[in-house]
Amino acid sequence: MESTNAPSLNSAGHATAPMSGALVALFSLCAGVLVANLYYAQPIIELIAPAVGLSAQSASVIVSLTQIGYAVGLFFLVPLADLHETGACS
């Protein structure tokens, strides 16, 4: 049986060390907070809008545009990861 802590080889033949559990947890937390940030304003948009001088309808359009922008960013940025080979090259 293979050890999970043993270095593995990437497609370029370079040895890569596995990510620690703490690093995976940190990345997961950061990703969750960033994505959740898109949804924080939805339930309170009617309370926020008057404070910044917007109608509730125009403020909700801004929240929708934020989510659409995130989706467009994912659509264009995620495929870029396939174009660049990652790994430690020394």
**Helical residues (DSSP H) of 1-90, grouped into ranges:** 21-36, 45-51, 56-83
DSSP H/E element including 15? strand 15-16
Closest CA to 85 of 9, 18, 23: 9
Q: HSE-up of 53 (CA within 13 Å, CB side)?
A: 0
Instruction: Give the model confidence (pLDDT) of 36-89 as tens digits.
Output: 888 888 888 989 899 999 998 999 898 899 999 999 998 998 888 788 766 545
Of residues 11 and 48, the one with the higher pLDDT is: 48
Q: Are 52 and 60 in contact (CB under 8 A)?
A: no
